[in-house]
Structure 1
Amino acid sequence: MAKKNSTSRFEARLRRPVEPRDASWAFVVLPAEASARLPRRGRTTVEGTLNGQAFRATLEPDGRLSHWLKVDEALREAAGVAIGDAVVLEIAPVAKEPEPDLPPDLRDALADAPEARAAWDSTTTLARVDWIHWITSAKQPATRAKRIADACDMLASGKRRVCCFDPSGYYSKAFGAPEAADAP
């Protein structure tokens, strides 16, 4: 559930990520005060405006109990802004977190494990967001495959939430905003 008065308005600079070098997207790290108004430190979906242009996006955790926003080329163009510009953002958490897209490899694994699929279907949307985040945050294909197998085993055994996973990245330092190619 969203916190009362959870709309935040702030100014930030659109940054270019160091990697990938040819990125057409930019990013903004939310100020701590704006992030603190959100309902959770993990992935969180918001609605808002960037220089008056409406958008809906899922914020990523930055590993510092805050979030960052990926601004794709289409939103930048619609808002009439370029990387390096100062922009005004207004954001608020969505009333109900949307169902996450099920990655094809996880979908296939759940199809082959009916008990795991039944448990998956009985979990909350936020639990599914965290399961998917845990799986997709793996850096190596072998780690991702192991996490999918482990997820199916845990779900089939009755676990409704992924254990030992900090969706904010704060305690494990597993997540972070992209490194900016330009100085702040």
Structure 2
Amino acid sequence: MSTSKKFRGLLEPYSKLNWVIVRLPFDVAKTWKTRNRLHVKGTVNGFAFRTSLFGSAQDGHFVLVNRQMQKGAGAVVGGMVEIVIEPDLEERKTSIPTELAKLLKQHGALKKWYEQLSISARDNITRNINTPKSAEARLRRAEQMVERMMLAMEGERELPPILQMEFARHSRARAGWEAMTPVQRRGHLLGIFYYQSPESREKRARKAIDEALKIARTKSREV
């Protein structure tokens, strides 16, 4: 029996995260008997993708449609797309740039932390480093990424001041932050420290707070 599902869905903006998503019109838990962050594969308007589902049983699940998928599908926000989707049971592997591998050998704790990141996060890091053509530029990218990862790793041990200030303004957000999975928290911390300017980091921190508040509200309804 095929586990594949086919449907038409609307490309819509999601919250304040500047995401574009398609909501799944069926109950994932009942259909595939699985947890929230299921790995999936399929096509959007015939363009192949592999990703993970987001959402929850309470609010429904959705697929994040990134810019590459939008371009490949020839689709824009507000348009309808045809989705074919099924669980992705193949083992996922990601390559690590040579420049980054050499740097991580010098930082054992950071290497272990990096290996605990999600596949998608590691893929993003790889793309960021491999984009430049020159070896010198790739090395600079790798060094910058190591610095960002170290800041994010330290942020797990002790919240950075930028988040502490936001939690002081939004007390309920702390409960939502603590309810996130380690992978989700690492993703937000990496997102914050991806930026160099204080203004950009503050803006990205507010997105993390928005997500934490949403989780806190969901948890409070479950009680």
Q: 1:17 to 1:33 in 2, by over 3 A?
A: closer
| Larger relative contact order, structure 1 or 2 (CA cutoff 8 Å, min sep 6) | 1
Contact 1:26 1:70 in 2 (8 A): yes
Residue in structure 2 matched with residue 151 of structure 1 by the alignment: none
State how far apart, in whole Å, the 2-side matches of 1:138 and 1:102 are. 12
Q: SS of the counterpart of 2:49?
A: strand
For residue 135 of structure 1, the aligned residue among 182, 190, 198 is 182
1:65: how far off? 7.1
Superposition map of 1:23-172 within 5 A:
23=18, 25-33=19-27, 36-64=30-58, 66-96=60-90, 98=92, 102-103=116-117, 134-138=181-185
State how far apart, in whole Å, the 1-side matches of 2:32 and 2:13 are. 25
State how far apart, in whole Å, the 1-side matches of 2:34 and 2:92 are. 14
Q: TM-score, normalised by structure 2?
A: 0.43
1:97: how far off? 5.2
Q: SS of the counterpart of 2:8?
A: strand
Aligned length: 118
Deviation string 1:136-182 (CA, Å, 9 cap, x unpaired) is 344997xxxxxxxxxxxxxxxxxxxxxxxxxxxx9x935xxxxxxxx
Q: TM-score, normalised by structure 1?
A: 0.51
Larger radius of gyration: 2
1:42: how far off? 1.7
1:6: how far off? 0.9
Tell whether 2:9 aligns with 1:19: no
Contact 2:43 2:83 in 1 (8 A): yes
Q: 1:34 to 1:50 in 2, by over 3 A?
A: farther
Residue in structure 2 matched with residue 155 of structure 1 by the alignment: none
1:34: how far off? 5.6
State how far apart, in whole Å, the 1-side matches of 2:33 and 2:91 are. 11
Q: SS of the counterpart of 1:19?
A: coil
Letter in 2 for 1:58: S
Q: 1:18 to 1:42 in 2, by over 3 A?
A: closer
Residue in structure 2 matched with residue 5 of structure 1 by the alignment: 2
Q: Where do 5+ consecutive residues of structure 2 fail to align?
A: 95-114, 118-148, 155-179, 190-214
Q: SS of the counterpart of 2:70?
A: helix
Residue in structure 2 matched with residue 152 of structure 1 by the alignment: none
Contact 1:29 1:68 in 2 (8 A): yes
Contact 2:39 2:89 in 1 (8 A): no
State how far apart, in whole Å, the 2-side matches of 1:99 and 1:64 are. 31
State how far apart, in whole Å, the 2-side matches of 1:62 and 1:42 are. 6
Deviation string 1:14-45 (CA, Å, 9 cap, x unpaired) is 1012303xx2x410111125663224132011
Q: CA-atom RMSD, angstroms?
A: 3.7
State how far apart, in whole Å, the 1-side matches of 2:77 and 2:116 are. 31
State how far apart, in whole Å, the 2-side matches of 1:138 and 1:57 are. 19
Higher helix share: 2
1:67: how far off? 1.7
